[in-house]
A and B are shown apart, each in its own frame.
Chain A
Amino acid sequence: QVQLQESGPGLVKPSETLSLTCTVSGYSISNGYVWGWIRQPPGKGLEWIGTIHHSGSTYYNPSLKSRVTISVDTSKNQFSLNLSSVSAADTAVYYCARSGVLVAEKYFHHWGQGTLVTVSS
């Protein structure tokens, strides 16, 4: 059974870069699927941040594209999120998740438990 676990600092200063890692167990990232990040500000809805194919191809939310980098490290079975120049508006629970490769399968069927990141000085 695949499991995903987010990790990283819970507090980031304004203007700095938010960095999170998702560690996958029970499945080898290099075998396939698409891996993504979704966030949820406190008390609000879900926002897709971006996804990365196991081959390394990336797709980002246009509204965040200029600040987002998602990368994959198959040797560690992890993928990562970097979000630069953060502000209080980036305070959210950040989830990592897995989706299918084909367009018809790009729903998120496995999720991590989420990690709260607060942007504050």
Chain B
Amino acid sequence: EIVLTQSPGTLSLSPGERATLSCRASQSVSSIYLAWYQQKPGQAPRLLIYGASSRATGIPDRFSGSGSGTDFTLTISRLEPEDFAVYYCQQYGISRTFGQGTKVEIK
């Protein structure tokens, strides 16, 4: 099983700041098999990024994904109030596994 480790566990930032979230895989993952989701309290996850760097329909361009091999990054260029949430990475190349999540909270 591919284990995904996300860091940091919590990111405390102010609106307008840049957020950089990390997702590290226990073995190499093809970049086309890595996705990112956003989840707000009481809501289902929402797909943000697939294929490591492709934005899903309707996702603002302040969200970007990058990486390859075992290291992947989700960047939010300028945090908007609605971006404070929990973010999960997921690999779907070998079975499917999720990371444990990174909470982006208001500082």
Which residues of chain B from 82 to 107 have a CB within 8 Å of any chain A CB?
88, 90, 92-93, 95-101
Query: Considering only CB atoms and an 8 Å cut-off, how many residues of chain B contact the other chain?
Result: 24
How far does the Cβ of B74 sit from chain A's closest Cβ, in whole Å? 14
Give the residue of B1, B35, B44 whose beta carbon is less than 8 angstroms from that of A107.
B35
Main secondary structure of the interface of B (DSSP, over half): loop
Q: How far is the CB of B71 from chain A (nearest CB, A)?
A: 19
- Chain A residues lying within 8 Å of B93, measured Cβ to Cβ, are 103
A-side contacts of B1, CB under 8 Å: 62-63
Chain A hits for B11, CB < 8 A: none
A-side contacts of B88, CB under 8 Å: 45-46
Residue-wise, chain A 31-56 has the 8 Å CB interface mask toward B (1 for contact) of 00000000000000111100100000
Residues of A within 8 A of B (CB): 45-48, 51, 59, 61-63, 95, 97, 99, 103-109, 111-114
